[in-house]
Structure 1
């Protein structure tokens, strides 16, 4: 017979994977994945190790599920938030989203991405599929918005890649330096690249 402690939270999570996944995701975003172990995680959540394994057969499956939830939450935010939906251009979307991404709880997703790449990126056999998926969804959203702005598909893809790299790099800068004013100015400068093609091609637009 198992001697693992069973409390109310174990019973609550036993057949409710979404609630358990939300708690697991919050834990991983706070503590990272490098030293993640299922038994301490279960203890921190007040559930049994068996409960975790019932829903996540391995640490790798758990991390994949966490990344999928982060991606789903981002998609829900982009499609469900009235202010973000109202953005009439890619630049306006990024301007509206940026302050939220700078909130400490939101910055954890960038820390997780940096950690996953730092931990696995140098290994030829490292599985970065989960980390790549954190990039892919962002690109899809930005490319779609840029094409609505009038950019041809090839340019939209290249520009979205550049913008995403800037957002990640500025988040890394902010996490290290804490200089929000300087980083905000840099983002505003970079968003000038998103000026609609028609506006860029008008006579006199190049000074």
Structure 2
């Protein structure tokens, strides 16, 4: 009887889950993981602690869903963004992505990634799969475009890994120093790696 009552309530408020998840994602992007708990999130979202627990059984479950949403939103942008789809080369694609990533709202994802990497380094069982997912999100589009330009699969994989490592490092530098001109110049050297004709 009690289970039926809980199930009925969950179904009744089921439509709120996407709205709550979207708001929670913005909260986590703004505040990070840190010592975040459900009560401050619930307060910021204007709902009760019980409401969040009804939709997300624990803090870890909510954070997992937040990271999955960030992943899904990124994949959706790759599929639907007209400018990215129109990029006529890997270099053009990487430049567009870099420009977007330098926007403050987008940089929040890197701050979150660096925080997650720090946590995972201390406890590999927490978040390891999610770190891999975030890395692969960026690797695959660059690797696929290099393949379309005739790069052999092993070379495309190596180059996309190098480009991603440079982008992550330069984003960390930019977040810490705000020296956009210097970082942009370094980024252009990275673009040269994929724009230069390959020697066969």
Name the TM-score, length of structure 1 as normaliser: 0.85
Structure 1 residue 124: deviation in Å?
4.7
For the structure 1 residues 75 and 126, does the alpha-carbon distance in structure 2 shift closer, same or farther, using more than 3 Å as the test? Answer: closer
Structure 1 residue 114: deviation in Å?
0.4
CA distance in 2, matches of 1:64, 1:117: 15
Determine the structure 2 residue equivalent to 1:26: 26
Determine the structure 1 residue equivalent to 2:53: 53
CA contact (8 A) 1:89 1:148 kept: no
Structure 1 residue 39: deviation in Å?
1.0
Q: Report 1:166-205 matches (<5 A).
A: 166-195=166-195, 199-201=197-199
For structure 2, the 5+ residue unaligned runs are 1-12
- Aligned positions, number: 189
Structure 1 residue 193: deviation in Å?
0.9
More off after superposition, 25-34 vs 137-146: 137-146
CA RMSD of aligned residues (A): 1.8
CA distance in 1, matches of 2:125, 2:69: 25
CA distance in 2, matches of 1:165, 1:108: 18
Name the TM-score, length of structure 2 as normaliser: 0.88
Q: 2:60 aligned with 1:63, yes or no?
A: no
CA distance in 1, matches of 2:95, 2:178: 19
Determine the structure 1 residue equivalent to 2:99: 99
Structure 1 residue 129: deviation in Å?
1.8
Structure 1 residue 16: deviation in Å?
2.2
Q: 2:174 aligned with 1:162, yes or no?
A: no
CA distance in 2, matches of 1:132, 1:201: 31
For structure 1, the 5+ residue unaligned runs are 1-12, 203-207
More off after superposition, 120-129 vs 95-104: 120-129
Q: 2:114 aligned with 1:114, yes or no?
A: yes
More helix by share: 2
Structure 1 residue 14: deviation in Å?
5.8
CA contact (8 A) 2:90 2:194 kept: yes
Structure 1 residue 22: deviation in Å?
0.8
Determine the structure 2 residue equivalent to 1:74: 74
DSSP-derived class of the 1:200 partner? coil
